[in-house]
């Protein structure tokens, strides 16, 4: 029995679905290996839309339906891992620098933004931002300034409830912790 080739719409939808899944998987690998995260938040809505349209278009062919359903489920797992990759945190840009800070109750990290990605430059476990009276567990009334930056470290000034100076060692591309 001869198979009929897929129509152009089905090929396009399937190609877009595979492309978006590939980008999400690349983000997962970059995050695991190099602590680099792609800015893929905008891909979530097109992925869901294309996925559901694909389900309607491929509904008549059982094998394609199952394949698209598996692709959508794996995409939803990748979306969930992207949204929960760092837990719940607060963040803000650091004035007059190219960095941002991400704060949790018991740690913080400095992030450098690129066009379509961000990279964790330094990470430190510390209770500097911990606030037991806050619903989120960390103090939101802080400002950060970079006092000095060298090739291998950052010196920052933290203005929160208590004024504090801190230093962080920058991480290389292959260093994870």
CB atoms near residue 110 (< 10 Å): 23
Q: Classify residue 174: in a domain, yes or no.
A: no
Q: Classify residue 76: in a domain, yes or no.
A: yes
Q: Classify residue 3: in a domain, yes or no.
A: no
pLDDT of 1 above 60: no
Is 99 in the same domain as 161? yes
Predicted confidence at residue 82, as pLDDT, reads: 65
Query: Of 17, 49, 83, which marks where a domain is finished?
Result: 83
Structure tokens at 78: 């990748």
Query: Of 46, 61, 83, which marks where a domain is finished?
Result: 83
Predicted confidence at residue 60, as pLDDT, reads: 65
pLDDT band at 161 (very low <50, low <70, confident <90, very high): low
Backbone angles phi, psi at 166, to 5 degrees: -145, 155
Per-residue pLDDT of 42-68, as tens digits, reads: 666 677 777 777 777 666 667 777 777
Query: Of 83, 115, 145, which marks where a domain is finished?
Result: 83
Is 72 in the same domain as 95? no
Q: Classify residue 175: in a domain, yes or no.
A: no
As for how many domains the chain has, the answer is 2
Full domain range(s) for residue 20: 8-83
Is 122 in the same domain as 149? yes
Predicted confidence at residue 6, as pLDDT, reads: 67
Is 49 in the same domain as 34? yes
Strand (E) positions, the chain?
A: 36-38, 90-93, 99-104, 107-113, 117-125, 143-149, 153-159, 163-169
Per-residue pLDDT of 129-147, as tens digits, reads: 777 777 666 666 677 788 8
pLDDT band at 156 (very low <50, low <70, confident <90, very high): confident
Q: Classify residue 31: in a domain, yes or no.
A: yes
pLDDT band at 28 (very low <50, low <70, confident <90, very high): confident
Per-residue pLDDT of 4-20, as tens digits, reads: 666 777 777 777 777 87
């Amino acid at each position: 029995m001869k198979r009929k080739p897929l129509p152009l719409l089905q090929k396009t939808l399937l190609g877009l679905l595979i492309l978006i899944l590939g980008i999400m998987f690349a983000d997962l690998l970059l995050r695991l290996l190099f602590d680099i995260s792609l800015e893929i938040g905008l891909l979530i809505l097109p992925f869901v839309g294309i996925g559901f349209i694909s389900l309607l278009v491929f509904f008549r062919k059982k094998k394609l339906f199952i394949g698209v359903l598996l692709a959508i489920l794996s995409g939803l797992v990748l979306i969930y891992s992207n949204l929960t990759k760092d837990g719940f945190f607060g963040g803000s840009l650091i004035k007059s620098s190219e960095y941002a800070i991400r704060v949790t109750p018991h740690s913080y990290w400095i992030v450098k933004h690129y066009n379509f990605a961000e990279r964790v430059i330094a990470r430190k476990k510390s209770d500097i931002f911990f606030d037991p009276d806050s619903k989120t567990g960390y103090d939101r009334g802080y400002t950060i300034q970079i006092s000095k930056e060298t090739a291998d470290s950052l010196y920052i000034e933290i203005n929160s409830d208590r004024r504090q100076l801190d230093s962080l060692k920058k991480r290389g591309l292959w260093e994870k912790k």
